[in-house]
Amino acid sequence: MGTRQIGSSGISVSPLTLGGNVFGWTVDKAMSFRLLDAFVDRGFNAVDTADVYSIFGGTAPGASETVIGEWLAQGGGRRDKICLFTKFGLDMGPGLKGQSAEYVEQAVEASLRRLQTDHIDLYFLHWDDGATAHEETLGAFQKLISSGKVRAAGISNCGPDRLAGAMEVAERTGLPAYQSLQTLYNLYDRAAFEGPLEDLCRQHGLAVFPYFALASGFLTGKYRQEADIAGNAREGLVKRYLDARGMRILAALDAISAATDASPAQIALAWLLSKPVVTSPIVSATSLDQLDRTLASVDLVLAPMHLEQLEAASAAD
């Protein structure tokens, strides 16, 4: 399986990252523990969450970090077996948001308490506000890294201009540079990443962690018409994929699935893993069987003709 590097941080991660966004939302604590154990037992190590999860389902912010913290608290060397990511910056309640130096310090302490650990391997700014001076946020990261509370800095949901500015500030001032980017990227959602943002990641050696790697489940092939998503927890996320281009992508996945015996989800993940700039797609699971099938994607190598077929089907209209 091998591991992949996070920028110049010296941190190595597995080729798939387990997304904790479902913990405390569509997955209860008992199943979350089983999924985490199974993930680690299979030799994977990267676990991603955020302070704001699992607010999607109306639960209180911090639920996902709390579940992971309780899993870690069981001991058995669990903390040493994982590379732990979390994020800050989105709304956690009145006055609890942003990327000011003061708030970063407050947010990391709250996450460390919920996670029941003394350090976070990779700490992400969840959503760049487009206004705060890079010197302020990177200066806050410098303090966290110097104190040992954070090993490396990452950023999520950041446009190319702001990312370029942050990297320039880090180079000029000696402040810590971002080592990784979390971004929306999958067979359907290509336009926002491919181009200037991808070029910047290559230029600076940033590790790339695509989220919604399966387009909120659309690329599994189980959602093909609006009736399939009616009343589903992901209805609002999936509906936009049910267009002509989405159907072309599903048709290509179906054809390749028939030729390879791999599932559409495995093929969609293998396409991402074929991209040299991609470090570790973030995937979630709600059952052990689903997790096992998802992790099998790391062993799937797509033929050049199948990669070309997927590129053509998913090209912008």
| Count of beta carbons in the 10 Å neighbourhood of residue 94 | 6
By C-alpha distance, which of 45, 47, 42 is closest to 21? 47
Percent of the chain with pLDDT over 90: 89
By C-alpha distance, which of 251, 282, 316, 285 is closest to 184? 282
Taking a C-beta distance cutoff of 8 angstroms, is the pair 280, 17 a contact? yes
Which 3 state secondary structure label does DSSP give 87?
strand
* Residues 258, 264: Cα–Cα separation, whole Å: 10
DSSP designation for 127: S
Residue 53 is a catalytic residue: yes
* Residues 191, 155: Cα–Cα separation, whole Å: 19
pLDDT in tens, 45-72: 999 999 999 876 667 789 999 999 999 9
Taking a C-beta distance cutoff of 8 angstroms, is the pair 292, 34 a contact? no
pLDDT in tens, 105-117: 999 999 999 999 9
Residue 216: cis peptide before it, omega within 30 degrees of 0: no
Residue type, 8: S
Q: How far is CA 243 from the centre of its chain?
A: 25
Residue 25's pLDDT band, with cuts at 50, 70 and 90, is confident
The residue annotated as part of the active site, out of 53, 103, 185, 211, is: 53
Integer CA distances (angstroms), 12 to 23, 205, 214, in order: 24, 14, 23
Structure token digits, residue 315: 């090209």
Residue 230's pLDDT is 75
Which 3 state secondary structure label does DSSP give 262?
coil
pLDDT in tens, 203-249: 999 999 999 999 999 999 998 887 777 777 676 778 899 999 999 99
pLDDT in tens, 155-196: 999 999 999 999 999 999 999 999 999 999 999 999 999 999
* Residues 129, 256: Cα–Cα separation, whole Å: 41
Structure token digits, residue 13: 């991660």
All domains of the chain in start order, with CATH? 4-218+276-299 (3.20.20.100)
Q: Which residue has the tokens 């941080």?
A: 9
Structure token digits, residue 80: 């040493």
Structure token digits, residue 90: 């989105």
